[in-house]
Chains A and B, each alone.
Chain A
Amino acid sequence: NAGVTQTPKFQVLKTGQSMTLQCAQDMNHEYMSWYRQDPGMGLRLIHYSVGAGITDQGEVPNGYNVSRSTTEDFPLRLLSAAPSQTSVYFCASSYAKTGGSGELFFGEGSRLTVL
């Protein structure tokens, strides 16, 4: 059972470059989300989706785009990378659509460095 799969695990970009972080889950979860993890800041929600075709902004959405064309996939796009986007990114999914009582399942993370 693969769970949540993120690619790539590591990436180095130059300022202004674009890239997409991929996230796929095989648990038929409706809810998917992206977090970034920074020292002293914990995890902060970037964007989330409650189903195919439905996305919304989290706490720190600026500089990131998302789309959800299928239940399985939820890519995160950086259109013009900035050094402030250097971070570890986690994708997480859940079976719980409402109530906040469901467990989040995390990928292993993608470490991004922007020079």
Chain B
Amino acid sequence: GNSVTQMEGPVTLSEEAFLTINCTYTATGYPSLFWYVQYPGEGLQLLLKATKADDKGSNKGFEATYRKETTSFHLEKGSVQVSDSAVYFCALGNSGGYQKVTFGIGTKLQVIP
């Protein structure tokens, strides 16, 4: 079945540091890939997505590229801010049929001033 692997963290960075959160997946077919973000006390919200190989999703300075050859969708940001402190979830949607999204365990990011 489908699965998503990401490190749990926590990841602690200083403000303005470069961020990479690795995500690899196992899936059949051609799934869509997502990054969701969960701020403290809130539900998840979509950060970015990519629907086919080599697509780059981007939003709020975050980027991730759908790499089918390495089955990866790593999240990057050039300069993190304290307000980026949150839990980040990598996820994939099954290709074809009805939507079922599989989530990774989530990576907690803490940015310190």
Contact = CB atoms under 8 A, between A and B. Distances in A.
Interface of A: 4, 31, 33, 35, 40-45, 48, 50, 58, 90, 92, 94, 96-104, 106-109
Nearest to B44: A106
B58 interface: no
B96 A99 contact: yes
Chain B contact patch, size range:
20 to 34
Contact of B93 (A4, A35, A100): A100
Given A42-B103, A42-B105, A58-B100, A101 B32 contact: yes
B51 A108 contact: no
Contacts of A97: 98-99
B30 to A, nearest CB: 10
A39 B97 CA distance: 30
A45 B42 CA distance: 18
Contacts of B95: 99-100
A48 B92 CA distance: 16
A16 B93 CA distance: 35
B76 interface: no
B46 A103 contact: yes
Closest 7 CB pairs of A and B: A100-B93, A106-B43, A42-B105, A43-B103, A101-B32, A106-B44, A100-B94
Nearest to A4: B43
Given A42-B89, A43-B89, A101-B51, A96 B42 contact: no
